[in-house]
Amino acid sequence: MLIAQAKRKENIAEYLLYMWQVEDLIRANHCDIDELQRNVIDRFQADDETSHQMREWYDSLIKMMELEHVKESGHLQINKNVLIRLNDLHRLLLQSPKYPEYGAQYYQALPFIVELRAKAPQGKQVDELETCFQALYGVLLLKLQGKEVSKETEKAIGHISYFIGMLAAYFKKDEAGELFDENDNIN
């Protein structure tokens, strides 16, 4: 909860990856709030009020996962909404003549995105940004498990990470009202 709040304010990409990790953490604890209490919340050694707030936060996420039928796999709608907003901004940035460096970075990452999408199982096709986040999350999980990442994957992740980092920076500016003004002719 505390980490999510901080990441949401600072870097939307890190926030989304963190929330995917939270979903997996909840699944690893069998969507059981008492198990999460023992294995996660208590380890923070926070004061009673903070522990209570964390428990309520995790409990509300568990309930959402149950209602949205994503206890086994998939993502919460709140996380899907972040991707939707990022996709909307992505399209606006590509259309805008104000941010040519964004388009250039996207086109540098695009061959890697296309390659990743080609490797996705049939019926599991997702949009380009979700492909990027899946790749970043997959590499994060590999590193957390102490597994090696190939040089080719590292190269692809480098391009994708830089591109997503740029999108996250523009997202922060957009939320602050600093990205576009009424004179910008974008749809």
The model carries a pTM of 0.91
pLDDT of residue 63: 98
pLDDT of residue 185: 60
Find out whether 105 and 167 touch, Cβ atoms under 8 Å. Answer: no
Is the residue at 154 inside a domain? yes
Residue type, 107: Y
Residue 61 and residue 87 in one domain: no
Residues 6+ apart with CB under 8 A from 130: 83
Residue 106 and residue 62 in one domain: no
Question: What is the domain extent for residue 170?
Answer: 79-175
Residue 89 and residue 161 in one domain: yes
Residue 55 and residue 135 in one domain: no
How confident is the model over 168-179, as pLDDT tens digits?
999 999 999 999
Percentage of the chain beyond pLDDT 90 is 82
Is the residue at 72 inside a domain? no
Distance, CA of 64 to CA of 69 (rounded, Å): 8
Mean pLDDT of the chain: 92
How confident is the model over 131-144, as pLDDT tens digits?
999 999 999 999 99
* Tokens matching residue 177: 């009202």
Is the residue at 184 inside a domain? no
Residue 146 and residue 126 in one domain: yes
How confident is the model over 66-111, as pLDDT tens digits?
999 999 999 999 999 999 999 999 999 999 999 999 999 999 999 9
Residue 113 and residue 59 in one domain: no
Q: Greater confidence, 76 or 121?
A: 76
Question: Structurally, how many domains does the chain consist of?
Answer: 2
Residue 15 and residue 47 in one domain: yes
Residue 56 and residue 110 in one domain: no
Find out whether 42 and 55 touch, Cβ atoms under 8 Å. Answer: no
pLDDT of residue 187: 55
Residue 21 and residue 102 in one domain: no
Which residue bears the tokens 């040519």?
100
How confident is the model over 39-71, as pLDDT tens digits?
999 998 899 999 999 999 999 999 999 999 999
Residue 153 and residue 92 in one domain: yes
pLDDT of residue 6: 80
Written as one string, the DSSP assignment of 28-77 is: HTTT-HHHHIIIIIGGG---HHHHHHHHHHHHHHHHHHHHTT-SSSS--H
pLDDT of residue 183: 66
Residue 116 and residue 38 in one domain: no
Q: Does residue 151 carry a pLDDT above 90?
A: yes
